[in-house]
Chains A and B, each alone.
Chain A
Amino acid sequence: MKKTSVVSAAVALAFCAGGAYAQNTNVPDNLEKLSNFQSTGTTEFTFVEQGGAYAEGIKKTLAGIKLPAGFKIDLYAVVPDARHMAVGPQGIVVFVGTRKNQVWAVTDRNKDRVADEVKNFAPSLRFSIPNGPCFSKDGFLYIAEQNRVLLFPAAEFFYESPDVAAFNLVAQGQLIPASEESFNHTARVCKIGPDGKIYISLGQPFNVAPPEKLELNRKWGVGGMIRLNTDGTGREVYTYGIRNSVGHDFHPVTGELWFTDNQVDGMGDDIPPGELNHQTKAGQHFGHPWYGGGKIRTAEYAKETPPADVVMPAVETVPHAADLGMSFYTGRMFPEKYRNAIFSAQHGSWNRTEPVGARVMVTTIDKDGKATMEPFAEGWIDANGEYLGRPVDVAQLRDGSILVSDDLAGALYRISYGQ
């Protein structure tokens, strides 16, 4: 009932007040207006051309992607700088974050499983590294940025208009201390946990976190994961000892948190391993900066004693492959062996002598909890060692197919099984 009244009030205001306010350049941020259901005067969307020569180039790459028998991959949408995805619970729209200043809204209107329209979301707002969109089951969209988290009620409805209802969940400057803001290691990811709280990863900006930052990091959850209630209260640090996690999800049966974590650079091509981690209770520590990945100790902390209860990874992944976004599979389309498996993206190494990664992985977890990861879709590195694409995130559509985002090609792919 409450949600309905918010929606109708906002619709009335958005449509009646449209154009009443001239855009005022002295107002640095339109958030206040949108929070009061006022019009910002913004009327223009940016639309991304679908199809054409650019799309054909991507399709050519996709023809070379290897998948298990029975699966196929198709271009779903051209989406510049596509990062993490949030699929609307009504199946109307997919929101896609970027590491720049846009969030894209991707719509498949005719349900032919190819997007018809890609346009920017909330064009009157100035986003800063809005990498991480996530949805609650009741249709609230959250977007985790560099140093803010916004909340958009009924986003799947409002996004059709340039002005949307928008509110602070975590106001600008409150997510981390402004002095710790960075561009790298600032691709935040959010997901709503089975407890209804929002879980947000906060990468720490260094290769190896320096000693003088550890106390501040621990307090704020930088180099960790925080959780809070969806009314903004009850913030606490849920996970410690992360270097730079850019993907997490909750096991559909146990409700436990699993997350990827990118490990230390500059130690060599073949160490340290990347990580897929499994957290079983609040406050666990996953080893950074004492460990550089798996059991490999960092040179900087080689003489220090690590915390006693460090949790080692569930899977040690290929060094420097950059495991990023991940999603548990709960659909019916794929064969039974994939039920409750993790689909995850390896972005690909950035300075390894021979590039590795740039593929989609699948991790199955047996009844004893043992996790095994193997390649699922690969072929984005050509014979010259050049990237043709770099997968970032995986999300499931309501029909049980999965979407893969790629921020190099600027695209979403759809992987389906059978017909």
Chain B
Amino acid sequence: MKSSILIALGGVLLAGSAFSQELVSGDRMAGRKLAGICRTCHGLEGKARIPIAPMIGGEPASYIAAQLTAFRSGEREHEMMSVVAKSLTDTQIADLAAWYSGHKVTVTLKADPTKAPELCVACHGVDGLHQIPEAPNLAGENTVYIETQIKAFRAGKRHNDIMTPIAEELDDAGLQQAADWYAAIEIAIELVPPSP
């Protein structure tokens, strides 16, 4: 079971990097330097250092770029991220997206895959890895982080054409179940240096 997930993951990783080349042509070396302002919370490889920060290493570049752009415009608000994103240029956002999307994610699912939350798996995978470039990885995020985001969609503080109606459908028990599922998946993020 575990090996088939890892094989599936290989596919996701390939797909992820293909998207990042297609949608954003950021410079990973420049992104690495800029990541000095991110690493206290997200780590240099994108593994969260504080509970309120998500794991961004190995996310789709398009997702990272979209979120930074939304923080910059005020469409998405967060006490810390709004401050950080305010001064970023389009190029800097592309560089950061290239840097963080390029790391290698490995996940280990110990639960029975048939018990995965049905509403979530099409985009976030059984193992918490994105299936579409617009979706973030959820593997290994803590329960409070995931619940906070679903509640933000439910309350209209975040908006997404796919997530908003799904969040509106979820009651507290449903969102707790989804959060528990993804939080229980173990994640390792390996720093991939910029190619020379």
Contact = CB atoms under 8 A, between A and B. Distances in A.
A325 to B, nearest CB: 15
A81 B49 CA distance: 10
Contacts of A184: 52, 78-80
A284 interface: no
Contact of A266 (B36, B41, B86): B86
Nearest to B38: A351
B51 A81 contact: yes
A246 to B, nearest CB: 13
Interface in B76-90: 78-80, 82-84, 86
B8 interface: no
Interface residues of B, number: 27
A167 interface: no
A407 B83 contact: no
**Which bucket holds chain A's interface residue count?**
20 to 34
Given A183-B148, A184-B79, A351 B84 contact: yes
B94 to A, nearest CB: 20
Interface in B84-116: 84, 86
A227 interface: no
Interface in A180-232: 181-185, 205-207
A128 B180 CA distance: 12
Contact of B50 (A28, A126, A146, A407): A407
A408 B49 contact: yes
A294 interface: no
B173 interface: yes
A357 to B, nearest CB: 11
B173 A28 contact: yes
A207 B144 CA distance: 21
Contacts of B164: none
Interface centre among A99, A146, A185 (most CB of B within 10 A): A99
B143 A101 contact: yes
B126 to A, nearest CB: 20
B79 A185 contact: yes
Given A99-B50, A101-B143, A387-B40, A265 B173 contact: no
A363 to B, nearest CB: 25
A270 to B, nearest CB: 16
Given A184-B78, A206-B79, A265-B80, A28 B144 contact: no
Interface in B49-87: 49-52, 78-80, 82-84, 86
A8 interface: no
Contacts of B176: 28, 126
Contact of A99 (B52, B78, B172): B52
A265 B144 contact: no
Interface centre among B52, B82, B84, B86 (most CB of A within 10 A): B52
A350 interface: yes
A293 to B, nearest CB: 14
A265 B81 CA distance: 11
A73 to B, nearest CB: 22
Contacts, number: 65
Contacts of A207: 79-80, 82-83
A129 interface: yes
Given A100-B51, A407-B50, A408-B49, A265 B83 contact: yes
A191 B41 CA distance: 28
B51 A128 contact: no
B142 interface: yes
Given A351-B37, A387-B40, A183 B82 contact: no
B144 A100 contact: yes
A184 B80 CA distance: 8
A305 interface: no
B144 A181 contact: no
Contact of B51 (A98, A181, A206, A387): A98
A254 interface: no
Nearest to A26: B173
Contacts of B80: 184, 207, 265, 350-351
A294 to B, nearest CB: 19
Given A183-B52, A350-B40, 11 more contacts: A28-B173, A99-B52, A101-B142, A146-B144, A181-B148, A182-B79, A183-B51, A207-B82, A266-B86, A350-B80, A407-B50
Interface of A: 28, 81, 98-101, 126, 128-129, 146, 179, 181-185, 205-207, 265-266, 348-351, 355, 385-387, 407-408
> What are the 7 A-B residue pairs with the smallest beta carbon separation, nearest first?
A266-B83, A99-B51, A183-B148, A100-B142, A350-B40, A183-B52, A265-B83
27 contacts: A28-B172, A28-B173, A28-B176, A81-B51, A100-B143, A146-B144, A181-B151, A183-B51, A183-B145, A183-B148, A184-B78, A184-B79, A184-B80, A205-B79, A206-B79, A207-B82, A265-B80, A266-B86, A350-B40, A351-B37, A351-B40, A351-B80, A351-B84, A386-B39, A387-B49, A407-B50, A408-B49
